[in-house]
């Protein structure tokens, strides 16, 4: 059965410079589900951007806190998840991120903190643990797809226990800007273009100040925002 999936992400507040930068680059706002376009780019850059934009476009500009999951059976509902997120967020304090930089993470490009961010790691860990009761177990097909990435023993253990291999010690906060780019020259060209665009934005403090609930109504469709839960403390 093709069930909806939910995800807990950090999504910048709609209309902020970070939101507009990311949404225009990936080509869609996950707040409004409307298509967007970056400012005019050289033809070579625009062609490369489009070549590697399928997944970022579908997921929207975000950083993962708890990866996508189908709702568990046994009385769990979207309203219960929303209520739990509301209570959780009332106890959270906004977290100031170290300045973000454009970097290559393996074969894809992302915005990542320039320094350590232990409070962000703790927030992601809390999201993974505290909302796991809402997660349905993955299918064997989903597990096999993840294991095709040659996981380490620890990653495979996390996959079995938490449904995703890159949690806890394997977690790294990042805001994805491209899909997988195996061609080193194309990856370098896009990274340099993104660095130039990022440097054009005025320096600004960036806070994780909310957890956002998104939904993928049917597998393969675009994720969009259901509700944003601002942190109440601070």
Query: How many beta carbons lie within 10 A of that of residue 45, not counting itself?
Result: 18
Q: Which residues on adjacent β-strands are paired with residue 9?
A: 64, 212
The fraction of the chain above a pLDDT of 90, given in percent, is 82
pTM comes to 0.93
What's the rounded Cα separation, in Å, for the pair 25 and 19? 10
What's the rounded Cα separation, in Å, for the pair 6 and 85? 12
Token reading at 43:
């033809």
Q: Which residues on adjacent β-strands are paired with residue 210?
A: 230
Q: State the pLDDT confidence band at 233, using cuts at 50, 70 and 90.
A: low
Q: Which residues on adjacent β-strands are paired with residue 212?
A: 9, 228
pLDDT digits (tens, 9 = 90+) for 144-193: 888 877 889 999 999 999 999 999 999 999 999 999 999 999 999 999 99
The fraction of the chain above a pLDDT of 70, given in percent, is 99
pLDDT digits (tens, 9 = 90+) for 103-156: 999 999 999 999 999 999 999 999 999 999 999 998 888 888 888 778 899 999
* Average pLDDT over every residue of 85-90: 97
Average pLDDT along the chain: 93
Query: C-alpha angle 105/109/112, rounded to 5°?
Result: 70
Residue among 13, 9, 57 nearest 35 (CA): 57
Domain ranges in the chain are 5-230
Residue among 133, 103, 100, 67 nearest 207 (CA): 100
- pLDDT at residue 29 greater than cutoff 90: yes
Q: Are 21 and 232 in contact (CB under 8 A)?
A: no
Angstrom CA distances, 176 to 55, 88, 110, stand at: 9, 25, 4
Query: How many beta carbons lie within 10 A of that of residue 99, not counting itself?
Result: 11
What's the rounded Cα separation, in Å, for the pair 98 and 54? 28
Q: Return the CATH architecture of domain 5-230.
A: Alpha-Beta Complex (3.90)
Residue 26, classed as helix, strand or coil, is: helix
């Amino acid at each position: 059965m093709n069930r909806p999936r939910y995800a807990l992400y950090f999504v910048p507040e709609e209309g902020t410079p970070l939101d507009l930068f990311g949404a225009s680059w990936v080509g869609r706002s996950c707040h409004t589900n409307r298509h967007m376009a970056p400012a005019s780019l050289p033809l070579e850059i625009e062609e490369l951007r489009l070549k590697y934009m399928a997944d970022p476009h579908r997921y929207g500009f975000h950083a993962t806190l708890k990866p996508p999951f189908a709702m568990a059976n046994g009385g769990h509902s979207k309203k219960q998840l929303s209520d739990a997120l509301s209570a959780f967020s009332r106890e959270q304090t906004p977290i100031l991120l170290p300045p973000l930089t454009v970097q290559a993470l393996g074969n894809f490009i992302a915005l990542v903190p320039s320094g350590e961010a232990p409070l962000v790691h703790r927030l992601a860990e809390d999201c993974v643990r505290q909302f796991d009761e809402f997660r349905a177990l993955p299918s064997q097909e989903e597990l096999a797809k993840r294991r095709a990435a040659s996981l380490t023993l620890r990653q495979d253990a996390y996959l079995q226990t938490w449904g995703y291999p890159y949690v806890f010690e394997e977690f790294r906060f990042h805001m994805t800007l491209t899909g997988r780019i195996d061609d080193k020259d194309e990856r370098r060209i896009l990274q340099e273009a993104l660095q130039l665009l990022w440097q054009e934005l005025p320096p600004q403090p960036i806070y994780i100040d909310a957890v956002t609930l998104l939904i993928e109504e049917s597998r393969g469709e675009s994720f969009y925002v259901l509700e944003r839960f601002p942190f109440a403390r601070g």
